[in-house]
Amino acid sequence: MAHEAIDQERVVASPWGGGQSPFAVGWPKLMMWLFLVSDTLTFAGLLAGYGVMRISLGRWPVQSEIFNLWLVGAMTFILICSSATMAVAVSASKRGDRPRVIPFLLLTAFGGMLFLAGQYYEWSHFIHEGARLFANPWGIPQFSATFFITTGFHGGHVTGGVIYLLITALRWTRGRIQPESIEIAGLYWHFVDLVWVFIFTLLYLI
Amino acid sequence: MTEGTHGGGYKIYFTVWFWLLVITLLEIGMVLVRVPKALLVFSLITLALMKAALIMAYFMHLRYERLNLIYAVVTPMFFLAIVLFAMVGPDALHVFRSR
């Protein structure tokens, strides 16, 4: 009997026994990672749908003649910068460098807002030129449909991210959260940047 | 992740930021000089994957996590890529050929 009890203890203490964290991260962070993996599928679905339509149609408008590549480049630059400032905010909160946390969090949220302003300008320009969800002057309805739906989903994620960052900053100033929460918000924000890398490449450049 | 596993100030983030910027400029440059389409598509996807790897490894700290978390996050991406290219890809091309 004593022998069995020792075995039981050993099982629980093993990484997969339930007695400890097998991934060596807290559960909130693990849940965020799992959410990000599943959210990847959302965008993979959108981008795959875009790819199938574009390849099966065999013709597509020349994007660089329709979109302002410099504006999109600037938006990409802003998002990369905001990802870097987020990384600094996370690192500062972890190493106890408190004065840096809030400025860099707010800088990140500001970067997100600038990106959204750029997207607003781009969308309104595109709509002004006659693009609609299922129709546009370039004769390929799928062109504007995939554009609006994919960048719209991404813009929605950025909007949610800005709100998430502002709430996180507020909760941090009130001392309600640990550095881990800032790290988790950071994971989400970097993911938004990561998705933009692929949207920028596939929708605008290729 | 515990403190100190990737110490050394904030310099690493600046370095990653710099390289992300360089790759982005390279991407825009390739479109502007009108590189041949096949080469363009191949290089742009390679560069995008490089950017993704940089962001995941350093900004998202994945490099400093335990190996099983890295596997749990990265392996589904490979399966996803295989499924998309092997199953959806031929479908798209088939429609194109049947015209």
- pLDDT tens, B22-80? 999 999 999 989 889 899 999 999 999 999 999 999 999 999 999 989 999 999 999 99
**Which band of pLDDT confidence, cut at 50, 70 and 90, is reported for residue B3?**
very low
| pLDDT tens readout for residues A4-47 | 666 767 766 776 776 678 888 888 999 999 999 999 999 999 99
Among residues A31, A28, A177, A50, the alpha carbon closest in space to that of A105 is found at A177
- A10 assigned to some structural domain: no
- Which residues between 65 and 94 in chain B have a beta carbon less than 8 angstroms from any beta carbon of chain A? 65-66, 68-69, 72-73, 76-77, 80, 84, 88-89, 91-93
- By Cβ distance, the residue of A23, A77, A91 closest to B69 is A23
Residue A5 domain-assigned (yes or no): no
Question: Would residue A12 count as lying in a domain?
Answer: no
Residues β-bridged to residue A132: A135
Torsion angle defined by CA atoms of residues A75, A79, A81 and A82, in that order, rounded to the nearest 10 degrees: 130
CA–CA gap between residue B63 and residue B90 (Å, rounded): 35
pTM of the model: 0.90
Question: Structure tokens of A95?
Answer: 């190493």
With CB atoms and an 8 Å threshold, state whether B24 touches A80.
yes
A4 falls within a domain: no
A18 to chain B, minimum CA–CA distance in Å?
16
User: Domain residues for A168?
Assistant: 26-205
Amino acid identity, position B47: L
Domain boundaries, chain B: 1-65, 67-99
C-alpha to C-alpha distance for B16 and B36, rounded to whole angstroms:
29
Give the minimum alpha-carbon distance from B48 to chain A in angstroms, rounded to a whole number: 6
Distance, in Å, from the CA atom of A98 to the CA atom of B64, rounded to the nearest integer, reads 23
| Crossing angle for the helix pair A27-57 and A179-199, to the nearest 10 degrees | 10
Scanning B42-61 for CB atoms below 8 A from A yields 44-45, 47-48, 51-52, 55-56, 58-61
pLDDT at A2 over 80: no
Query: Is A20 among the domain residues?
Result: no
- Is residue A9 situated within a structural domain? no
